[in-house]
Amino acid sequence: MLKLLLFCLLLVTCWPIAIAAVLLYPLIWLLLLPFRLVGIVVGGAFELIAALFFLPARVLRAI
């Protein structure tokens, strides 16, 4: 809701920038999408490494 109010304020004060933001937002989102996917993959890889690292301790704790 806050973002919508800020956008409306921008639209009233400086409408060319608001229209440019609306038109460029999907392009910027598409450009940043691969970086988000890489971040998800790297985070998953670190979680896997951490799980493998703590596996012996979890097995010993279960005994």
For the chain, 63 residues long, the average pLDDT of each consecutive 10-residue run is 91 91 93 96 97 91 83
pLDDT of residue 52: 95
pLDDT of residue 1: 92
Rounded distance between C-alpha atoms, residue 22 and residue 19, angstroms: 5
Closest-CA residue to 22 (of 9, 35, 7) = 7
User: Are 10 and 18 spatial neighbours (Cβ–Cβ below 8 Å)?
Assistant: yes
pLDDT of residue 61: 87
Rounded distance between C-alpha atoms, residue 49 and residue 55, angstroms: 10
pLDDT of residue 62: 82
The dihedrals phi and psi of 14, each to the nearest 5 degrees, come to: -145, 80
